[in-house]
C-alpha cells in the first residue's frame, strides 16, 4: 500500500450518494426515460453499483478511484463521464497526458490501460507486477472493477444517446500509455492451475480459475455470501466478494437485466452478450451466453457462426472490421449483431444508421434499451473474467 493512494481498509455505508447518474450524463427525453422505467431495478442497481464504487469508503481512496475512472472514460472518448468525475474530486494526477510519478499509481494506470483497451492480452504476470508495486488483493479488485464498471457505464451513456437521436461519436484520438502495444495474446494450452486451457471459442461448459486469491469458502462473511446469492459459490464470485456491496449490486443488475420477461427476447439478450464477448475475446463468457442463446433460440448453427467469425486484430488486439460477425444471419439478427459489436468496441463505433436498422425491424424503445444494457453489462463482465483469471476445461485439473 502507498500512502495517499488508499483509504480505510473496511467498507462503510457512509457518504452513499443518491440519484441517477446515467440520467445526469445523457438527455434521455420522455420516451427513453419511460422505456428505462420498464426495468426499474436495473436502473436502481446500476446506481447502487456506482455508489458502492465511488461513494463508499474502501481499500482505495475515493479520489483515486474517481481519477482512475476519469482516465478510463477518457480512453473511451466519454468526455461527459470524465467531467463528471473531475467535478466530484477525481485525483488530477491520474487522467492527464502523463503517467503519474508515484510508482504504485503508475503501475495501476498502466494496468488500467490494458483492462480498458486490451483486456484479452492480460496475463497472470500482469497481476503479479501490480502486486509487486504494492497493491493488495482487495485493491486489485477495486482497480479491476473501476475499469470494468466504467466500461459498462460509458456504453449505457453512448447507447442511450444514440437511441435518443444523437450523432455518431467522433473518432477519439487516444492519448495513452503504450504498455499494451507489441504484446501478444497467450496461446498456452495449460492454465495457471495446471488444467487444460481452451484456445478457441466453444459452446461447451468451461470453468474458471483466479489469479488473485478469492476469499476461502470457510472465511466468507454473511454479507459476502449474500452478495452473490443465487450464483455459484465458485472462485469468481468469492473473489469479487472482496467488495461485497459492489458485488451485491452487480448481481442484482445481472438479474434485473437477464432474468426478467420485459424487453428484448431473452435469446437476443444472450446473443448480444455472446457478440460482446467475441469482440472482447472472452472465451469463457462467450461459451456461457452462446450456449444460452442457442438453447433459447434453437438456432445453434447461427450462434456458432458468430463464435467462428475470424476477426482481424491490431497491435492492441482491437478489431476494426466487424462484418464477419453478422455474416450469414437473417436481417434482424444481422442488425442486432452489428449494433452489439459496434457498441462493444473501444471507443464505441455504433452509429445512428444501426439504430435505424433495428427500428426498421420493429424493435421498440424498451427492446433497444435492453439491447444497450446487455452489451454494456458484458463490457463489464468480460473485463473482470479476462483480467482476474482464465478459463479451463473442467475435469482436467492435475490430481492433488
pLDDT at 345 over 50: yes
Cell of 368: 433497444
Among 160-169, 303-312, 328-337, 368-377, the least confident range: 160-169
Q: How confident is the model at residue 183 (pLDDT cuts 50, 70, 90)?
A: confident
CA gap 51, 69 in Å, rounded: 13
Q: For residue 11, what pLDDT band results from cuts at 50, 70 and 90?
A: very low
- Provide the pLDDT confidence category of residue 173 given band limits of 50, 70 and 90: low
For residue 41, pLDDT over 90 is answered with yes
307: its cell numbers: 463464435
Q: What is the pLDDT of residue 168?
A: 79
Q: Which pLDDT band holds residue 233 (cuts at 50, 70, 90)?
A: confident
Kindly tell me if the per-residue pLDDT of 266 is higher than 90: yes
- pLDDT for 177 equals 60
pLDDT at residue 174 in the model? 61
13 confidence band (pLDDT: 50, 70, 90): very low
| pLDDT in the model for residue 380 | 98
pLDDT at 15 over 70: no
What is the four-CA torsion angle of 375, 378, 382, 384, rounded to 10 degrees? Answer: 140
pLDDT, residue 176, reads 64
| Contact between 84 and 20 (Cβ < 8 Å) | no
In which band, very low, low, confident or very high, does the pLDDT at 181 lie, cut at 50, 70 and 90?
low
> What's the pLDDT at 19?
87
Is it the case that residue 38 has pLDDT exceeding 90? yes
Q: What is the pLDDT of residue 18?
A: 61
Which of the four pLDDT bands, split at 50, 70 and 90, describes residue 3? very low
Bridge partners, 208 (sequence order): 391
Unique residue bearing C-alpha cell 463482465: 381
Is the pLDDT score of 90 beyond 50? yes
Tell me the average pLDDT across 114-125: 95
Strand intervals (E) in the chain: 207-210, 389-392
Indicate whether 178 pLDDT > 70.
no
pLDDT at residue 231, rounded to an integer: 84
Q: Which helix (H) or strand (E) holds 165?
A: none
Residues contacting residue 87 through CB under 8 Å, at least 6 positions apart: none
pLDDT at 58: 85
pLDDT at 57: 83
pLDDT category of residue 252 using cuts at 50, 70 and 90: very high
The pLDDT of residue 4 is above 70: no
Amino acid at each position: 500500500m502507498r500512502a495517499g493512494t488508499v483509504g480505510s481498509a473496511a467498507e462503510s455505508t457512509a457518504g452513499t450518494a443518491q440519484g441517477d447518474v446515467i440520467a445526469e450524463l445523457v438527455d434521455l427525453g420522455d420516451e427513453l426515460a419511460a422505456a428505462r422505467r420498464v426495468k426499474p431495478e436495473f436502473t436502481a442497481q446500476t446506481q447502487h453499483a456506482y455508489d458502492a464504487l465511488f461513494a463508499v469508503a474502501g481499500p482505495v481512496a475515493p479520489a483515486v478511484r474517481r481519477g482512475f475512472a476519469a482516465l478510463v472514460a477518457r480512453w473511451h472518448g466519454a468526455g461527459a463521464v470524465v467531467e463528471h468525475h473531475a467535478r466530484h474530486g477525481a485525483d488530477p494526477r491520474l487522467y492527464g497526458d502523463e503517467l503519474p510519478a508515484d510508482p504504485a499509481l503508475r503501475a495501476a494506470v498502466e494496468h488500467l490501460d490494458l483492462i480498458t483497451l486490451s483486456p484479452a492480452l492480460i496475463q497472470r504476470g500482469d497481476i503479479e507486477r501490480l502486486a509487486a508495486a504494492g497493491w493488495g488483493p482487495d485493491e486489485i479488485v477495486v482497480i479491476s472493477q473501476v475499469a470494468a464498471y466504467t466500461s459498462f457505464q460509458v456504453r449505457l451513456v453512448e447507447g442511450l444517446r444514440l437511441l435518443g437521436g444523437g450523432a455518431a461519436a467522433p473518432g477519439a484520438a487516444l492519448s495513452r500509455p503504450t504498455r499494451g502495444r507489441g504484446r501478444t495474446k497467450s496461446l498456452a494450452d495449460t492454465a495457471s492451475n495446471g488444467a487444460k486451457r481452451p484456445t478457441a471459442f466453444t459452446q461447451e461448459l468451461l470453468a474458471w480459475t483466479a489469479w488473485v486469491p478469492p476469499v476461502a469458502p470457510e472465511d466468507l462473511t454473511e454479507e459476502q455470501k449474500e452478495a452473490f446469492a443465487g450464483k455459484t459459490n465458485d472462485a469468481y464470485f468469492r473473489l469479487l466478494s472482496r467488495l461485497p456491496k459492489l458485488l451485491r449490486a452487480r448481481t442484482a443488475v445481472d438479474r434485473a437485466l437477464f432474468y426478467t420477461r420485459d424487453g428484448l427476447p431473452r435469446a437476443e439478450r444472450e446473443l448480444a452478450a455472446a457478440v460482446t464477448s467475441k469482440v472482447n475475446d472472452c472465451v469463457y463468457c462467450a461459451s456461457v451466453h452462446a450456449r444460452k442463446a442457442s438453447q433459447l433460440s434453437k438456432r445453434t448453427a447461427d450462434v456458432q457462426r458468430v463464435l467462428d467469425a475470424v476477426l482481424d486484430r491490431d497491435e492492441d488486439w482491437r478489431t476494426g472490421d466487424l462484418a464477419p460477425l453478422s455474416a450469414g444471419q437473417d436481417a434482424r439478427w444481422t442488425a442486432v449483431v452489428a449494433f452489439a459489436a459496434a457498441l462493444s468496441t473501444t471507443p464505441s463505433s455504433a452509429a445512428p444508421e444501426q439504430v435505424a436498422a433495428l427500428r426498421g425491424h420493429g424493435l421498440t424503445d424498451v427492446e433497444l434499451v435492453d439491447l444497450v444494457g446487455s452489451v454494456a453489462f458484458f463490457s463489464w463482465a468480460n473485463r473482470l473474467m479476462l483480467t482476474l483469471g482464465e478459463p479451463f476445461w473442467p475435469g482436467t485439473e492435475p490430481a492433488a
